[in-house]
């Protein structure tokens, strides 16, 4: 996998919705949210249930390696937010972006799959006195993670033998 899936999702939304990358936030990325009335998007991962795991031994460049891989169904929420009506008017564009040719290309390059249809929820009331329009668009992806560790051979251990007589 080339990039984290959530960062690819951010790029797809920026590209397809014609939003500056500075208007796309990943939850807790340390940047200040905009104070203007315009549209911005906050991405957050809400769940990552694994549905398959595999461990196998391979020889990589002459070294015995343990490769563990896990398939995961990630749920990402794209919160489309604005003080004006842009969020209400444009929230549907997130789902269109996920079904675009550009999104298909990014999935192939980065080795994951985006689900085509998912719910959009009006969560404007959560913002209370801020009076923000907020629409949460669910994005479901299927991805895999892999970790490889070299394996020690038994002849690589140092030990001393002690026998009692």
In a domain? residue 121? yes
Note down the domain range covering 28. 5-48+74-141
Q: Residue 22 maps to which CATH number?
A: 3.30.2000
Please answer whether residues 26 and 43 qualify as being in contact, where contact means their C-beta atoms are separated by less than 8 angstroms.
Answer: yes
Say how many domains are in the chain.
Answer: 1
Closest by CA to 6, choosing from 99, 148, 140, 146, is 140
Any domain includes 83: yes
124 domain residue, yes or no: yes
Is residue 42 a part of any domain in this protein?
A: yes
The Cα–Cα gap between 114 and 98 comes to: 7
**Domain membership flag for residue 154:** no
Across the range 15-30, mean pLDDT stands at 95
Instruction: Round to the nearest angstrom and report the end-to-end CA distance of the chain.
Output: 58
| Residue 160 is assigned to a structural domain of this protein | no
Residue 151 lies in a domain: no
Residue 67 lies in a domain: no
Helices within 78-144 (DSSP H only) = 86-90, 92-98, 101-110
pLDDT tens for residues 76-110?
999 999 999 999 999 999 999 999 999 999 999 99
Q: So what's the pLDDT on residue 53?
A: 96
The whole model's pTM is what?
A: 0.84
């Amino acid at each position: 996998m080339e990039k984290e899936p959530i960062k690819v999702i951010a790029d797809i939304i920026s590209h397809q919705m014609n939003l500056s990358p500075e208007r796309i936030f990943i939850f807790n990325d340390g940047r200040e949210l905009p104070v203007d009335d315009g549209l911005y998007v906050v991405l957050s991962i809400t769940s990552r249930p694994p549905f398959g795991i595999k461990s196998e031994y391979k020889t990589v460049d002459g070294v015995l390696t343990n490769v563990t891989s896990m398939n995961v169904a990630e749920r990402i929420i794209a919160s489309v937010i604005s003080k004006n009506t842009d969020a209400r008017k444009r929230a549907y564009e997130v789902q269109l972006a996920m079904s675009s040719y550009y999104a298909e290309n990014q999935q192939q390059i980065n080795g994951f799959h985006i689900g085509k249809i998912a719910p959009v929820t009006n969560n404007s009331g959560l913002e209370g006195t801020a009076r923000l329009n907020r629409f949460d668009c669910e994005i479901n992806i299927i991805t895999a993670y892999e970790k490889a560790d070299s394996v020690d051979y038994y002849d690589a251990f140092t030990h001393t033998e002690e026998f009692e007589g």
